[in-house]
Structure 1
Amino acid sequence: MVAVDLASPYYLHPSDHPGMTICPVVLKGDNFQEWEKSIRNAFRAKRKLSFLDGMVPKPDDDAKEIEDWWSVNSMLVAWVLQSIEPSLRSTITYYETVQELWDDLQQRFSIGNGPRIHQLRSDLTRCVQRGQNVATYYGHLKKIWDELSTYVKARGCNCGHCTCNWMADLSKEREDERLHQFLMGLDDDLYGTLRSNILAQDPLPPLNRAYALVVQEERHKTMTKSRDTRNQGMAFAMRDASSRRHDKPTCVNCGHSGHVASSCFKIIGYPEWWNNGRGNDKGIEKGKGGKSTSAIGRGKGVANAAQNANIPTGSNVIGSTNTAPLTSQDRTALIPALNDDQWNVVLNMFKNITQRNSSNEHLTGPHFEDGDWGR
């Protein structure tokens, strides 16, 4: 059995196939730099980046590894084409080798860095929070920073003899610049105080630490806002209930709430249903036009007064089986100081009350104005 060299550039894993997607970024035409970085990273993980750079040239036709080379090359060509948008893939010239295909894509889609760098820096200055959550806002910034780093290469020492540690200082300077950009884009009304506290630190904290502090502040404000919303809802409900209570009118005659002077019983007279039949303890009240209205016309109170009175035997009172007419002496014994017309009104009222009691209805009776007593 022949041993398989896993480190060989010609090695292909059994799971590798031409239709496999090896990078998450799809080439759409205007994102070549992002796509190139992603495809290079995927090829490096597969140990096949040397095919793109031409470091593994095509062997001679009679070489024994020619078949392995063509197998790997064809697999890489399929992977590159699979990572291109279908509408754009049809416009790409077909090449047999992956190196020729790669060079053609670079010449076609790799535009000058100057315009793109200017566009990215413009996007960076306009990138502010504007009510977004902190994670979304930071994600937009991070995407611009990452693409910008592909165009602007970090400077490094070529001589290898520097001892001033300037590379670390340069890296810290770039991180501080990003920290300022992140803090400047935050909403002033929410994170103004926190931003001042972070900038007051010397040295400035790392960008990741500042991001964690802002997220912590966001969560605290979210909880506080939720609690305030509940409290405001309860306060509004209490104010609404209080306003409904205070909205009731107040009578200028008697001083009670719930009615006005034009409907005050002390002015217009008490109805029969007043005080649930106990209206007879009100005494005599002034009615409309200054006439006196006694407690007789207050529903149950009158009936109770009549039932508790000492009624002579044989009188024609409601509920009595004797139909003999009442004499003047009997009427005087029941309720004094009533003339014949007023007594007839009282008898009619008793009949109505008795009929409604027999049908188990709530005791209500006709309302008598002050002038009715004299008719």
Structure 2
Amino acid sequence: MGDNNGASTAVTTTELAALLQAMDERYRLLFDAISKQAGNSRPELEIKEEIHPLQVPHVKLEGSESYASWAEHAETILVLRKREGYVLGTVKKPLEEDSKEGQRWRATNALVRAWLLSSVSPQIAKQVERIKEASEIWRLLKGTYSGVGNEMLACKIQKELQRLSQEEKTVVEYVSELKRLWSDLYYYDPVELECGKCVEKFNKWIEKRRTRDFLNGLNSMFENRRVSLYGNGTLASLEQVVSAILSEETRLKLEDTGPTTHGVAQIRSALLATGGGNLQRLELNLDDKKCFECGEPGHMKMACPQLTGGGRGRG
């Protein structure tokens, strides 16, 4: 009986090994088919990503004055979509155009090329529309319209900075215009320094100069705050100064919106501005006014006896 059990066990082990081998062969074919299908679907996803449309820049290239802003927007969009290599020339055209790499490069280059043409004015597009490679279009646009070292543009921006003041603009609008002109001036007239300490000293010097330009162009309503900022001995950074002026602007707006405070400020200003006969004329004018609290003439609500508890007062 023992021999029969041993023979039966040996047969079972052999059959089990054969069964496992057969299953392994069958599932190997299935796994190979799945892997092949996954490999074929991946390039399709990559191709779909290649032809994904690009966002048009908010600023169109219309000439040298708009190039700096256009180039900044355009390069940001290309970097976001990982397509900057097609305009910078780092993604080279494959030698075999009929290969998958060649087809992918041709499709992406056509996409970036069409996007570049749509982001410039029609007059500029006509100048480069026959160029087939996006990198060549980018190079020509940069060489023609970048304006780096253009003394006329730098002079124009410098004059705008000298004339710029706050006037009717809010503090945010005023400082935004200043920063735009500062950025454009540095772009068209760059300063190249190799020494690290020299760069640090220059940055501190230019920031102090820009802070003074900002303060000097403010309206007279900020005079007290401006004097206090200058009187601290060491002028704070531009961001700190702008923050202080913004806080002052908010305080002045709140002061103007308060009805009682607004009335007191008006009367105080009128009294300070008058003298002698002018003060007497102001009192005569107040005799014609009626109190909003009790309706009696000769005083205002702020001096009303019913509110102050005193006798009949004069405004």
Distance 1:120 1:81 in 2: 28
Q: Which deviations, in whole Å up to 9, do the C-alpha atoms of 1:239-294 show, x marking residues without a partner?
A: 52279958xxxxxxxxxxxxxxxxxxxxxxxxxxxxxxxxxxxxxxxxxxxxxxxx
Q: Which amino acid aligns with 1:203?
A: T
Contact 1:94–1:101 (CA<8 Å) still a contact in 2? no
CA-CA distance at 1:16 after TM superposition: 5.3
Alpha carbons of structure 1 residues 197 and 21: separation in structure 2 relative to 1, 3 Å? same
Counterpart pick for 2:119 among 77, 83, 86: 83
Q: Which amino acid aligns with 2:231?
A: A
What does residue range 277-288 of structure 1 map to in structure 2 within 5 Å? none
Match of 2:16 in 1: none
Contact 2:87–2:135 (CA<8 Å) still a contact in 1? yes
Q: Which deviations, in whole Å up to 9, do the C-alpha atoms of 1:195-236 show, x marking residues without a partner?
A: 122123343211111001001111111122233445579999
Distance 1:101 1:234 in 2: 67
Q: Which deviations, in whole Å up to 9, do the C-alpha atoms of 1:335-372 show, x marking residues without a partner?
A: xxxxxxxxxxxxxxxxxxxxxxxxxxxxxxxxxxxxxx
Match of 1:60 in 2: 95
Match of 1:51 in 2: 86
Match of 1:193 in 2: 224
Residue segments in structure 2 that go unaligned for 5+ positions in a row: 1-37, 269-284, 299-315
Match of 1:70 in 2: 106
Match of 2:257 in 1: 226
Q: Secondary structure at the match of 1:177?
A: helix
Residue segments in structure 1 that go unaligned for 5+ positions in a row: 247-375
What does residue range 98-177 of structure 1 map to in structure 2 within 5 Å? 98-111=134-147, 113-157=150-194, 165-177=197-209
Q: Which deviations, in whole Å up to 9, do the C-alpha atoms of 1:75-130 show, x marking residues without a partner?
A: 11122122123565455433211022223323443445211111111111111011
Does 62-71 or 76-85 show the bigger shift? 62-71
Q: Which amino acid aligns with 2:66?
A: N
Q: Which amino acid aligns with 1:193?
A: N
CA-CA distance at 1:49 after TM superposition: 2.1
CA-CA distance at 1:33 after TM superposition: 2.2
Distance 2:225 2:186 in 1: 29
Counterpart pick for 1:24 among 38, 58, 61: 58
Q: Which amino acid aligns with 2:289?
A: D
The count of aligned residue pairs is 236
Q: TM-score, normalised by structure 2?
A: 0.64
Distance 2:287 2:62 in 1: 59
Alpha carbons of structure 1 residues 153 and 204: separation in structure 2 relative to 1, 3 Å? same
Alpha carbons of structure 1 residues 165 and 202: separation in structure 2 relative to 1, 3 Å? farther
Q: Which amino acid aligns with 2:228?
A: N
Distance 1:165 1:175 in 2: 15
Alpha carbons of structure 1 residues 223 and 100: separation in structure 2 relative to 1, 3 Å? same
Bigger relative CO (Cα 8 Å, ≥ 6 apart): 2
Alpha carbons of structure 1 residues 172 and 192: separation in structure 2 relative to 1, 3 Å? same
CA-CA distance at 1:56 after TM superposition: 2.0
What does residue range 294-305 of structure 1 map to in structure 2 within 5 Å? none
CA-CA distance at 1:237 after TM superposition: 8.9
Alpha carbons of structure 1 residues 102 and 241: separation in structure 2 relative to 1, 3 Å? same
Contact 2:150–2:188 (CA<8 Å) still a contact in 1? yes
Contact 1:21–1:83 (CA<8 Å) still a contact in 2? no
Alpha carbons of structure 1 residues 14 and 46: separation in structure 2 relative to 1, 3 Å? closer
Distance 2:131 2:252 in 1: 58
More helix by share: 2
Distance 2:217 2:41 in 1: 55
Q: Secondary structure at the match of 1:59?
A: coil
Q: TM-score, normalised by structure 1?
A: 0.54
CA-CA distance at 1:38 after TM superposition: 2.1
Match of 2:216 in 1: 184
Identity over aligned residues, as a percent?
20
